[in-house]
Every structure is written in structure tokens, then in C-alpha cells.
Amino acid sequence: AQSVSQHNHHVILSEAASLELGCNYSYGGTVNLFWYVQYPGQHLQLLLKYFSGDPLVKGIKGFEAEFIKSKFSFNLRKPSVQWSDTAEYFCAVISGNQFYFGTGTSLTVIP
């Protein structure tokens, strides 16, 4: 079955630590990849997206993600997290008109 896996369910980091959240998908065809973020009490909003071209994409607030086709992965990274990055992060894959979200990773950044 098609799926999106986010293996880290809950991550706790201190400020200035580096972040990497994993995302793996199981679709074989052409996919478009997204990371969405949901800050406490706010809507889901787009962090970054990959459609084609450079597999290293940069998003808002210093986040970036790397698409590795051979590993079916689209991991999210940030070199130095801030307290304000505390949020729920969702990886999403679109294949055709089908949208699939991962289960989410809850990130807590300790000041």
C-alpha cells in the first residue's frame, strides 16, 4: 500500500541544536513532495516543496529538505533550531491527484 512514513514521532531539542526529521514514501512514480508545519494554535502552513530540479530545496525560516530519489526520502533539516520552531511537522506526498500525509513529528525546542 502507498504510504508516507515519519519515523520520529516526538523530538526534543535544545535551542541551537541541529534538526533532521525523516520522511520516506512508497510511491514508485513521479511524486511531488511537501513539508507542512502547524504551530500551536495555528493552521497547517507550507514550509517547503519539491517538484523537480535541484533536489535540495530551501523553505521559510531557514528550513531545507533534500530529495533522495534512490532512498525514497525527503528529510527536513535546520542547522540551528529556535524555541519558536516548536510545532508539529508533516511530510506530504502527491502522486497524481492523490494526497498522502505522514503521521507527523512533534518537535519541542527547549530554550
Partner 1 sequence: EAGVAQSPRYKIIEKRQSVAFWCNPISGHATLYWYQQILGQGPKLLIQFQNNGVVDDSQLPKDRFSAERLKGVDSTLKIQPAKLEDSAVYLCASSPSSGGYNEQFFGPGTRLTVL
Per CB under 8 A, residues contacting partner 1 are 4, 6, 31-32, 34, 36, 43-46, 49, 51, 90, 92, 94-104
- Distance CA(101)–CA(108), nearest Å, equals 20
Q: Which is nearer to partner 1, 16 or 46 (CB)?
A: 46
CA separation, residue 38 to residues 24, 28, 104 (Å): 20, 28, 10
Closest approach of partner 1 to the CB of residue 14, in Å: 25
Closest approach of partner 1 to the CB of residue 33, in Å: 9
Q: Which is nearer to partner 1, 45 or 82 (CB)?
A: 45
Closest approach of partner 1 to the CB of residue 100, in Å: 8
Q: Which is nearer to partner 1, 79 or 96 (CB)?
A: 96
Closest approach of partner 1 to the CB of residue 101, in Å: 3
